[in-house]
Chain A
Amino acid sequence: MREYELIVIGGGPAGLAAALSAWEGGLRDILILERDSALGGILNQCVHNGFGLHRFKEELTGPEYAGRFIDMLSGTGVEVKTDSMVLSISPEKQVEYVNPTDGCQVACAKAVVLAMGCRERTRGAISVPGARCSGIFTAGAAQRFINIEGQMVGRRVVILGSGDIGLIMARRMTLEGAEVLACVELMPYSSGLNRNIVQCLEDFGIPLYLSHTVTNIIGKNRLEKVVVSAVDERRQPIPGTERTFLCDTLLLSVGLLPENELTRAMGAEIDPRTNGAVVWENMETSVPGVFACGNVLQVHDLVDFVSGESGRAGVAAADYVRRGPAPAGRTLKLENGSAVTYAVPQRIRMEMVGDGVQVFFRVNRVFGKSAVTVKSGEKQIARFQRDHMAPGEMERILLPGKLLALAERDTLTVSAEEVEA
């Protein structure tokens, strides 16, 4: 059995950044297992721009952003196996994978980084009623057809969900000559970035229907029309508000789910709030020496933050290989306070805090002038001002070690609240 210091599962933005920083951290025996035939992951089909403003201080397209990392990686000795599907990972860090040249193999490692990314929620996940005709795609599948395969998926399009991929595809399909009739969003606000509403919908005069949903799909063979209805505060369709769009295509952009089947099977603890692994401050899961980062851990909005988080996971994996397991000591648990849907990392080991811990979280509604508070019991240990927060925009705060040391209890609660303007 081939032994590695580190095996990285996935060669998308998370895996690339993790492998690079582990290399920079001194590891010299690293393997990336990538299931597709090229590195870069989903970035390869994200041909639009908007990537890299934080990381590279310039605006790059998805393939360019991935290309930067692939170029950096080619200067290292990191081994890459493409077309390689990981079938299982044991808690002892034996990784079973298959590809056409090696066949079905087991390799083992001192540390593993999980960077498998996420998948799209499907029609089934939201149980859209109606016919089971062709012409219904998840936005990402349509994106792959159009941008990689060069195949068009339809001509008259309705988009359900205003997540970023849906918005990006509204523009993309328009620019390929399709007519996008509407973008329909169940919630009273979009879950996509504001800039995408402007440059993907408003630029092309595509209407956005907030607090609406698709209530019927009609088509014998190919999609013929969709029925859209307004919804009430409980998100239930309001009878009498139906409007029908004649269209041949429905794109679904209704959310992403971390793809954690391998993680679950390995026995790592999963956070039901994120659908990702529960991690410590250094991205280590409940299985020692196994780290998780990127969209497999929590669904990000910006690849720049995926790279940052994954870089930290790579450094931590290198530390684990060279110095062994983290020291025992006091631990803190992060909990949801009011209006917060999750916080990552879920746990903090005080011995490992160093300069501080970056905490990512999301709020459950739109906020104007507001404040984020971190409390331990009744005691507030940190407070951060915000001008605007929304569920579609991941928030992050930095908790310095000094402040964490003030925690009186073993839990920290992250909350959001309105502030009088």
Chain B
Amino acid sequence: MKELVCIVCPNGCRLRAYEEDGCRVEGNACPRGEEYGKNELLYPVRVLTGTVRLHGGAIARCPVKTVGPIPKEKLLEAARALCGVDVQAPVHTGDVVLADVCGTGVDVAATRTIL
């Protein structure tokens, strides 16, 4: 059994995840907690947020995120990959600034519209 704190939402439910019984999860207040608990045991994932260089905008950086979760162990590698990205203003929320980051199949998109 592994004790976990669910990070899906700010409630922070305290989960107990059992590897036997096909990854049974207890303590979750919603179905997403169960999914999180299972994932955390088998295949932990995270959404990466950060910034990329922005040129020609009112500020120097454009905030970005991976549009879906990526494997936890790829977080640092993906953060490093953001260093190689340069974006030209204007940029809009949702614009993909880097496709398929680190071969995860997940894109990185802008999270702010900067004209």
Q: Does A195 contact B (CB under 8 A)?
A: yes
Residues in A whose Cβ lies below 8 Å from that of B14: 194, 388
A48 to B79, CA, bound (A): 13
B-side contacts of A53, CB under 8 Å? 9-10
Assembly CA distance A71 to B4 (angstroms)? 37
Query: Do A193 and B10 form a contact, CB below 8 Å, given A49-B65, A148-B60, A149-B59?
Result: yes
Interface stretch, picked from B18-26, B46-54, B98-106, is: B46-54
Tell me whether B38 is interfacial, beta carbon within 8 Å. no
Cα–Cα distance between A47 and B113 once the two chains are bound (Å): 13
Most buried by A among B5, B6, B10, B65: B10
- By a CB distance below 8 angstroms, the chain B residues around A64 are 93, 111-112
B10 and A50: CB pair below 8 A? Answer: yes
Q: Which residues of B contact A62 (CB under 8 A)?
A: 63
Interface pair A147/B63, CB less than 8 Å apart: yes
List the count of A-B residue pairs having beta carbons below 8 Å apart: 87
Tally of B interface residues using CB under 8 Å: 31
Chain A residues within 8 Å of B61, by CB: 147-150
- A49 and B9 CA atoms in complex are apart in Å by 10
B113 to chain A, nearest CB (A): 6
Query: A95-129: which residues lie under 8 A (CB-CB) from chain B?
Result: none
Which residue of A has the minimal Cβ distance to B94?
A64
Quick check: B60 and A61 within 8 Å, CB to CB?
Answer: no
Known A-B contacts A147-B63, A148-B61; the reply to A175 vs B10 at CB < 8 A is no
Partner of B58 from the list A37, A60, A388 (CB cut-off 8 Å) is A37
Does A49 lie within 8 Å of B49, measured CB to CB? Answer: yes
Residues of A close to B75: CB separation below 8 A: 175, 203
Q: How far is the CB of B110 from chain A (nearest CB, A)?
A: 9
- B59 and A148 within 8 A (CB): yes
Chain A interface size range: 35 or more
**B85 at the binding interface (Cβ < 8 Å):** no
CB A103 to nearest CB in B, in angstroms, measures: 23
Beta-carbon contacts under 8 Å, B1-46 to A: 4-10, 12, 14, 46
A198 at the interface (CB under 8 A from B): yes
Q: Does A302 contact B (CB under 8 A)?
A: yes
Q: Digitize B80-110: 1 where CB-to-A-CB distance is under 8 Å, 0 elsewhere.
A: 0000000000000100000000000000000
Known: A48-B49, A63-B111, A199-B7. A149 touches B60 (CB 8 A): yes
Please measure, in the bound complex, the distance between the C-alpha atom of A150 and the C-alpha atom of B5, giving whole angstroms: 32
Please tell me if the beta carbons of A49 and B47 are within 8 angstroms of each other in the complex.
Answer: yes
Chain A 125-153 interface 0/1 with B at a Cβ cutoff of 8 Å (1 = within): 00000000000000000000011111100
Chain A residue nearest to B7 (CB atoms) is: A195
Q: Cα distance A148–B61 when bound, in Å?
A: 6
Please give, as numbers and ranges, the residues of chain B lying within 8 Å of A174 by CB-CB distance.
76
Cα distance A38–B50 in the bound complex, in angstroms: 20
Q: Give A3-59 interface residues, CB cut-off 8 Å to B.
A: 37-38, 44, 47-50, 53, 59
Q: Which residues of A have CB within 8 Å of B72?
A: 203
CA distance A151 to B61 in the complex (A): 10
Knowing A47-B49, A63-B112, A148-B61, the reply to whether A194 touches B12 (Cβ < 8 A) is yes
* Contact residues in A for B50 (Cβ distance below 8 Å): 47, 172, 175-176
Do A47 and B5 have beta carbons less than 8 Å apart?
no
Which B residues lie within 8 Å of A67 (CB)?
A: 93, 111-113
Return the contact of A47 from the options B7, B46, B63, B93 (Cβ within 8 A): B63
| A151→B59 CA distance, assembly (Å) | 11
Interface presence of A271 (CB below 8 A):
no
Q: A38 with B7: in contact, given A47-B50, A49-B49, A175-B79 (CB under 8 Å)?
A: no
Q: Given contacts A47-B111, A147-B51, A150-B51, is CB(A195)–CB(B58) below 8 Å?
A: no
A61-B63, A61-B65, A148-B59 known; A198-B49 Cβ under 8 A? no
Instruction: Looking at the assembled complex, report how far the CB atom of B106 sits from the nearest CB atom of chain A, in whole angstroms.
Output: 14
State in angstroms the CA–CA spacing of A175 and B49 once bound together: 9
Q: How far is the CA of A44 from the CA of B112 in the complex (A)?
A: 8
CB-nearest residue of chain B to A37: B58
Compute how far the CA of A48 lies from the CA of B10 in the bound complex, rounded to whole angstroms. 13
What A residues does B49 contact at CB under 8 A? 47-49, 61
Query: What residues on A are CB-neighbors of B4 within 8 Å?
Result: 198
22 examples of A-B residue contacts, CB within 8 angstroms: A47-B65, A50-B9, A50-B10, A53-B10, A61-B111, A63-B63, A63-B93, A63-B112, A64-B111, A64-B112, A67-B93, A146-B51, A148-B61, A149-B59, A150-B53, A151-B60, A175-B50, A175-B75, A175-B76, A194-B7, A195-B12, A198-B5
Taking Cβ atoms with an 8 Å cutoff, the residues of B that contact A are 4-10, 12, 14, 46-51, 53, 58-61, 63-65, 72, 75-76, 79, 93, 111-113
Please give 6 more A-B residue pairs, beta carbons under 8 A apart, in addition to A150-B51, A175-B75: A49-B65, A61-B49, A63-B93, A148-B59, A172-B50, A175-B48
